[in-house]
Amino acid sequence: MVIPEQKIEEIRAAANIYDFISPHIALRKRGRNYIGLCPFHNEKTPSFTVSEEKQIFHCFGCHAGGNVYRFIMDYQKISFIEAVQDVAKQVGISVEVTQTEQTEGPSEQEMLYDVNTIAARYFLENLLNAPEGETARKYFENRKIKLSTIRTFGLGYALPAWEAFINFARDKNIELNKAVQLGLIGKTNEGRLYDKFSGRIIFPIFSSTGRVIAFGGRILENRENTAKYLNSPESVVYTKGRVLYGLSHAKDDIRKLNKAILVEGYMDLISLHQAGVKNVVAVSGTALTEEQVQLLSRYTKNVVLLFDADAAGMKAAMRSIELLLQRDMEIKIASLPSGEDPDSYVNTYGKQAFEKIIDRAQNFLEYQTDYFQKQGLFNEPSTTADAIRELMKPVALIQDELKRSLLIKTIAKKFNLREMLLEDELRKTLAGHQREDQIEAKRRKNVESKVLAEILPADKQIPQHIFNLEVELIKLLFEGSEKVVELIVHHINDEMLLSEANAAIFNEVAEAYNADADLTAGALIGRIKDEKIQQYISNITLEKYSISKMWEELHPDEVRGNILEKYTKDVLCKYKHAHLDENAKEFYLEMENAQNDDDKIIIMKRLRELNREKQLISDELL
C-alpha cells in the first residue's frame, strides 16, 4: 500500500491537530498551547501539550510526541497508512491506495516492510499447504495450536532447502539485496546466497502497530551446530530492544485490563492468547530493555512477570524488576509449578487455573524474600545481612517514600525480620544512589529535558554551552518561520553540529527548505521517521521554558516575527563564536607549550585571525 508523500503532506496540512485530539481528551488553553491529561500514561496533573500553531503534540511525562498522524496511530493503535486514510476521510480528501509504484516511489523503509510482508505470507502458505510442511504442521498440532491462531500470528514454515525462498523472491521480483539486508537470505564466504531460515518454523515479529518487522525462527529437529532459535538481524525497520513480541495483539486487552503479563517465549504467548489470556507480551530471547519498559508503560503500569522459577530465571527477573521499578511500574511475580511453562500449563489446566496463578502473583519483594527464605539465607546472621542488602537494592529504586516503607513493613512482619535492619540497609543504598544521582545530575546539568539526555551521546564530549546553543537552533527551525530557517540554513551546515541527532534533523529541515516545502513543525516532524527523534523534537519545541519566549517578554511591543529573527541571529552569532572560541582554546594551549618566539608569533597571528573572524560574524548578524 502506497500513498505518495506529497498527498500525505497535503492531508496533514488540511487537518487541524486540535480537532483530532479534543474529541478524545479534555484540553484547556494554557498560553499559546493546550494541555490535558495524557492518554498514553497514567497521570494526575496534565503534561500532555498540544500546539495548534506548530501542529504537534508532546507529553512531558512519557515523551510521546509527534504530529497528527502519530497521535492517531498511537491513540487508535493503527498503522501509519490507516492513520493517513482516517485523517483524509475526516478532512474530505480522497486517497486512492494503490499497489503500484507512484512516480516518487515508496521509501526504502516501505520497501523493506513490503518484503517482510510478502515473506511472511509465503512462510504461512508453506505451513498451511506445502507437502514439505507436514513436520511443521505436526509440530503445531502437538502443541495444540489451532488454525485460527496460526493465522492470527501469521506463523509459518521455511522449507528445508537452500534456495526455496530465494527462488520465490526472484519470482516475486523482490530485490534480493533487500532480503539479504533483512536477514531472510544469507551469503556464504564464497558469496553464494542461501535461505537463512531454512527448515525453521517462523514467528513473524510485529511492530506495535502490527507491521511485520522481523522474524524469529525455531529449528524443528535438533541438529548439531545449529542454534535452536534464529532471529532477524537489526535493520532499518527493526531495532531489537524496542519491540515487545505480541504487543500489537495484546495492547487493547492490556489497556482494558490495565495489566500486562510478561512471558519469555513466543509459544508461551501464543498458547495463552489462544486460551483467551490476551494481555500478554513476550521479551523473547533478549533481556528486557529500558525501551521495552517505556513502550509497555504507555499501556499500563501493572506488570506480572511470569518467568522460570529457577535461579537463572530469577536472576533475569531481577534485572527486569529493576528496570520496571525505575519506570514506576507496579510489579508482581507469578510462578508456575516446577516443570511447567505457561504454554504447557494453560494447555493442561486451562484458562481459569492460569488466571488463578496470575491472581495469586506476589509482590516482587515478597517473592524474593520468600525465595531467600527457602534457600535458608535467613538462618544465619552473616547470610541474612547479604540477603537483606540484596532485597533493598530494588526497593531503593521506588520513588514513592510511602510505598517503600509500606513494603518494608509488610516484609518485616511476614518474614519476621527486624524492620530497623531493613530500614538501615535501605538508607545506605539510597545514600549510594544519591551520590550516583549527583554525578549524573552534573553530567546532565543544563540539559533541559530527559529525552535530550537520552539522545545526547554519553561518550562524546560536547561542550555543554555549545550543545545548548545547538539545541536552541534546532528549536528555532521548528518555529514555522521561513526567514528563521533561511538564516540558519545559510549560516551553518550539518558538519558544524556536534550531535548526530541534531545534524540529522538539520539536514531534513534544510532539504524541506530547499524544496520549498511546508515549514510548519507538524510538516517537518513528519519527514523524520525515527520515533525517538520525533519525540525529541516535539519535546524541545513545546518546552515550557524557552529563551525565545523570554525575549518576547523583554520586547513586548515588537512584532513576534521580528523578535524571532533577531533572536535567531543572536543565537547564530553566539554559536559560531563558541566554535571559534573552542579553536582559540587550542591555540592558547599551544602557546603555553610553544618553544620559541617565532612559534608564539605564528600562534598570535592565528588568534588575531580568529578574532577578526568573530568580528565579521558579529558585523554580519547583529
Minimum CB–partner distance for residue 250 and Zn ion (Å): 20
Question: Is 61 near Zn ion (CB under 5 A)?
Answer: yes
Nearest to 430 by CA among 380, 383, 394, 484: 394
Minimum CB–partner distance for residue 97 and Zn ion (Å): 31
Minimum CB–partner distance for residue 60 and Zn ion (Å): 8
- Given the rule CB under 5 A, which of 53-61, 188-196, 332-340, 413-421 is the region that contacts Zn ion? 53-61
Rounded to 5 degrees, φ, ψ at 261 are: -105, 130
Question: Is 345 near Zn ion (CB under 5 A)?
Answer: no
466: left (phi over 0), alpha (psi -120 to 50) or beta: alpha
Question: Is 62 near Zn ion (CB under 5 A)?
Answer: yes
- Given the rule CB under 5 A, which of 52-60, 158-166, 274-282, 589-597 is the region that contacts Zn ion? 52-60
Minimum CB–partner distance for residue 508 and Zn ion (Å): 25
Minimum CB–partner distance for residue 34 and Zn ion (Å): 14
Binding residue count for Zn ion, defined by CB under 5 A: 6
Find the binder of Zn ion among 2, 8, 15, 38 (CB under 5 A): 38
Question: Is 295 near Zn ion (CB under 5 A)?
Answer: no
Q: Which is nearer to Zn ion, 59 or 267 (CB)?
A: 59
Q: Which DSSP string corresponds to 460-474?
A: S---HHHHHHHHHHH
Q: Which is nearer to Zn ion, 38 or 361 (CB)?
A: 38
- Given the rule CB under 5 A, which of 24-32, 62-70, 236-244, 443-451 is the region that contacts Zn ion? 62-70
User: What's the rounded Cα separation, in Å, for the pair 577 and 569?
Assistant: 12
Find the binder of Zn ion among 59, 68, 119, 250 (CB under 5 A): 59
Find the binder of Zn ion among 20, 34, 40, 245 (CB under 5 A): 40
At 384, list the grid cell. Answer: 541474612
Q: Which is nearer to Zn ion, 61 or 160 (CB)?
A: 61
Q: Residue 501 contacts by C-beta under 8 Å, 6 or more apart in sequence? A: 455, 533, 536
- Is 42 exposed, middle or buried (CB count within 10 Å of its CB: 0-12, 13-18, 19+)? middle
Minimum CB–partner distance for residue 18 and Zn ion (Å): 18
Q: Which DSSP string corresponds to 567-622?
A: HHHHHHHHHHHHHHHHHHHHHHHHHHH--SHHHHHHHHHHHHHHHHHHHHHHHHH-
Q: Which is nearer to Zn ion, 90 or 294 (CB)?
A: 294
- Given the rule CB under 5 A, which of 51-59, 78-86, 365-373, 558-566 is the region that contacts Zn ion? 51-59
Q: Which is nearer to Zn ion, 452 or 510 (CB)?
A: 452
Minimum CB–partner distance for residue 43 and Zn ion (Å): 6
Q: Which is nearer to Zn ion, 59 or 277 (CB)?
A: 59
- Given the rule CB under 5 A, which of 32-40, 88-96, 343-351, 601-609 is the region that contacts Zn ion? 32-40
Q: Which is nearer to Zn ion, 22 or 405 (CB)?
A: 22
User: What's the rounded Cα separation, in Å, for the pair 322 and 412?
Assistant: 21
Neighbours of 432 (CB within 10 A): 12
Beta bridge partners of 245: 282
Q: What angle do CA 231, 236, 240 make, to 5 degrees?
A: 40
At 22, list the grid cell. Answer: 479534543
Q: Which is nearer to Zn ion, 240 or 532 (CB)?
A: 532
- Given the rule CB under 5 A, which of 39-47, 101-109, 171-179, 253-261 is the region that contacts Zn ion? 39-47
Q: Which DSSP string corresponds to 170-235?
A: HHTT--HHHHHHTTSEEE-TT--EEETTTTEEEEEEE-TTS-EEEEEEEESS--TT--SEEEPPPB
Find the binder of Zn ion among 7, 12, 41, 196 (CB under 5 A): 41
- Given the rule CB under 5 A, which of 56-64, 183-191, 447-455, 487-495 is the region that contacts Zn ion? 56-64
- Given the rule CB under 5 A, which of 61-69, 233-241, 408-416, 611-619 is the region that contacts Zn ion? 61-69
Minimum CB–partner distance for residue 210 and Zn ion (Å): 22
Neighbours of 156 (CB within 10 A): 26
Q: Which is nearer to Zn ion, 63 or 278 (CB)?
A: 63
Q: Which is nearer to Zn ion, 291 or 590 (CB)?
A: 291
- Given the rule CB under 5 A, which of 54-62, 406-414, 440-448, 604-612 is the region that contacts Zn ion? 54-62
Minimum CB–partner distance for residue 480 and Zn ion (Å): 24
Neighbours of 222 (CB within 10 A): 7
The total number of residues shown for the chain amounts to 622
User: What's the rounded Cα separation, in Å, for the pair 189 and 477?
Assistant: 47
Minimum CB–partner distance for residue 41 and Zn ion (Å): 4
Q: Which is nearer to Zn ion, 40 or 113 (CB)?
A: 40
What does the buried/exposed string (b/e) look like for 126-153 if buried means 16 or more CB atoms within 10 Å of the residue's CB?
A: bbbebeebeebbebbeeeebeeebbeeb
Q: Which is nearer to Zn ion, 59 or 303 (CB)?
A: 59
User: What's the rounded Cα separation, in Å, for the pair 3 and 96?
Assistant: 7
Q: Which stretches of the chain bind Zn ion, using CB under 5 A?
A: 38, 40-41, 59, 61-62
